[in-house]
A and B are shown apart, each in its own frame.
Chain A
Amino acid sequence: MRGSSPRMMALSMTKTTRPKLVTALLLAPAALFFVFLLLVPLTVVLIFSFGERAPAGGYLPAFTLQNYMDLPARGKAFFNTLTLAPLGTLLTAIFAFPMAYFLAVKVSPRWRVAMLILVMAPFWTSQLLRYYAWMIILGNKGLPSWLAIVGITDVRIINTPWAVLIGAVYGFLPLMVPPIYVSLEKLDKRLLEASADLGATPTRTFFQVTLPLALPGVATGSMLVFILLMGDYILPQFLGGGKVFFIGNALVDLFLQSRNWPFGAAVSVALVAIMFVTIYFYMRFVLSKTDTRRAALV
């Protein structure tokens, strides 16, 4: 309450409302996109998931839980996704860790970033072509035929869960290494020296000092990879070859081939729900772990 005259009031009003107007204008375009391309479409999917399939395909308004009861019909896709996505994430983290450690600790600072970019680069090139190359490498005229020369016969890799896991490690290693690298680079080398001075073996130092401190990086990387693997379509399509299919493949089938939109909507809702719940509990777990570690250090 600075001024009592109407003119003063009006002045102070414009002073406070104009910045608000600017803020609103700055955020308006993004808000439009979020509403019309995210919230409305996701709500439509939710509504459709309670509907019925029109005879010619598509959607017929109704309220039924039938689509959700029918989810077990696609149980195989859920099972594959929910086992291979976490397993693929874990394997990627296991293979990425030594690589990140090498880059952060063993490589001279001059070459570090260049070598890190070299690891990241494949992720930003055509996913289709890279998995296509693996389709050839793991296919019957590829690796199995080379192994046959050495006398190992009857190996089948393509279209098995193994092929999908190899593809997952290959496809997402470039995404997993950088966050682990960042957390390892920040690691105070004196902590490692202190640990050694106090008589810890290198193995013990690794498990009790290095690994816990690198955990945030591993957690970030795993989260990114897990999100992308859960919704993947091309990887299982190319390397699982219709035998090892994910929820993504079921969705393409339901929407573009059999045109059962309501059931497809229910599968989408289930996928998003599972992802959000998993991520929520995962974050809670990771946060509690990193906090206690930090507390223990202090």
Chain B
Amino acid sequence: MLRAYAICIYIFLYLPISLIVFFSFNAGKYAMSWEGFSIYWYGKAFSNPLIMEALRTSVIIALSTAVLSAIIGTLTALGLERLKGWLRVTFDALIYVAIMVPGIVIGISTLIAFVSVFDLVNPSLAGFGIKLQMGTWAVIAAHVLFNIAVVALLVRARLQGMDRSLVDASEDLYATPLGTFRQVVLPLLAPSILAGFLLAFTFSFEDFIIAYFVSGPDTTLPIYIFSSIRRGVTPEINAVGSVVLLSSFVLLIIAQAVLRRGERTSRA
């Protein structure tokens, strides 16, 4: 009984995804009426300059977000360990607020705060030929905010599970604090940092709603997909989607493998 239920759930979860991949090989012009096998749309998608430009923007945003969040998030987790009292409570609260405030509100608040500041300073900057506006950088900033919190929580969990005696041993052997950090702490934290990096990358690459508000004139891949779904889809979008689906699957599996290997080594 339970086994049959589980099979139904897997079908429920994977049927829509399979449909997208299936119709990406459609020879016909319409997204959902089958007219024979073809890889025509893959070629078309990858020679469409709009799609390629959106893909490039999304990869830049996701990579920058992942690198910045992994670094700042790790620093934050390390700093929080050393913090006590009301400052610590405040910082913890901010981390949870950053995670709990809906993405759409983050997008809105970033948009109106920055646009208001730009409206104030742009007239005086005009003399220098500078005009500040929303764009890729604002998407990165808003994504980093959320992912700092995620990485900090991941790394902190690992830090708390860490064996303190290793650090003590390293200090007893006259290692400098920086040496201990580089040779003992960092290798132990590496799996959680890498997992955080991959989660941040995926989040940033998939995000639609924050980018929709703050990307200004720039177009990310989810924004492109959103507007083409509104226009009526050709299998071109299915082709792009299939490639994206495949890459996020691979990323997720790497993230999981890394996290689990980390758990095993820390137990041993």
- The verdict on A37 contacting B145 (CB below 8 Å), with A27-B79, A141-B32, A276-B100 known, is yes
Which stretch, B13-21, B49-57, B185-193, touches the partner chain A? B13-21
| A136 with B112: CB separation less than 8 A | no
State whether the Cβ of A162 lies closer than 8 Å to any Cβ in chain B.
Answer: no
User: Smallest Cβ distance from A28 to chain B, in angstroms?
Assistant: 8
- The verdict on A233 contacting B104 (CB below 8 Å), with A41-B112, A119-B13, A129-B245 known, is yes
CB neighbours (8 Å) of A135 from chain B are 229
Chain B 233-265 near chain A by CB (<8 Å), digits 1 or 0: 100010001001100110111001000100000
CA distance A234 to B210 in the complex (A): 12
State whether the Cβ of B78 lies closer than 8 Å to any Cβ in chain A.
Answer: yes
Nearest-neighbor residue (CB-CB) of B247 within chain A:
A125
| A137 with B19: CB separation less than 8 A | yes
| B108 with A134: CB separation less than 8 A | no
From A41, A95, A128, B9 is in contact (CB under 8 Å) with: A95
| B222 with A233: CB separation less than 8 A | no
State whether the Cβ of A40 lies closer than 8 Å to any Cβ in chain B.
Answer: yes
State whether the Cβ of A68 lies closer than 8 Å to any Cβ in chain B.
Answer: no
Chain B contact-residue range equals 35 or more
Chain A 235-269 near chain B by CB (<8 Å), digits 1 or 0: 00010000000001001100110000100110010
Instruction: Work out how many contacts link A and B, with CB atoms closer than 8 A.
Output: 208
Which residues 130-153 of A sit at the B interface, judged by CB distance below 8 A? Answer: 130, 132-137, 141
Q: How many residues of A contact B (CB 8 A)?
A: 73
CA distance A132 to B202 in the complex (A): 19
| A30 with B72: CB separation less than 8 A | yes
Among A44, A136, A264, chain B packs the most CB atoms within 10 A around the CB of A44
Main secondary structure of the interface of A (DSSP, over half): helix
Chain B 155-199 near chain A by CB (<8 Å), digits 1 or 0: 000000000000000000000000000000000000000000000
- The verdict on A45 contacting B72 (CB below 8 Å), with A34-B145, A118-B10, A173-B13 known, is no
State whether the Cβ of A271 lies closer than 8 Å to any Cβ in chain B.
Answer: yes
CA distance A232 to B202 in the complex (A): 18
- The verdict on A129 contacting B113 (CB below 8 Å), with A33-B148, A124-B248 known, is no
State whether the Cβ of A230 lies closer than 8 Å to any Cβ in chain B.
Answer: yes
From B112, B152, B222, A44 is in contact (CB under 8 Å) with: B112
| B212 with A252: CB separation less than 8 A | yes
A–B Cβ pairs within 8 angstroms, 13 of them? A27-B76, A27-B83, A30-B152, A39-B94, A42-B101, A44-B109, A102-B2, A106-B2, A117-B253, A124-B251, A125-B206, A130-B17, A231-B103
Which B residues are closer than 8 A to A by beta carbons? 2-3, 5-6, 9-10, 12-17, 19-20, 31-32, 71-73, 75-76, 78-80, 82-83, 91, 94, 97-98, 100-106, 108-114, 116, 141-142, 144-145, 148, 152, 202, 206, 208-209, 212-213, 222, 225-226, 229, 233, 237, 241, 244-245, 248-249, 251-253, 256, 260
Which A residues are closer than 8 A to B by beta carbons? 19, 22-24, 26-27, 29-31, 33-34, 37-42, 44-45, 48, 59, 95, 98-99, 101-103, 106, 113, 117-122, 124-130, 132-137, 141, 170, 173-174, 227-228, 230-231, 233-234, 238, 248, 251-252, 255-256, 261, 264-265, 268, 271-272, 275-276, 279
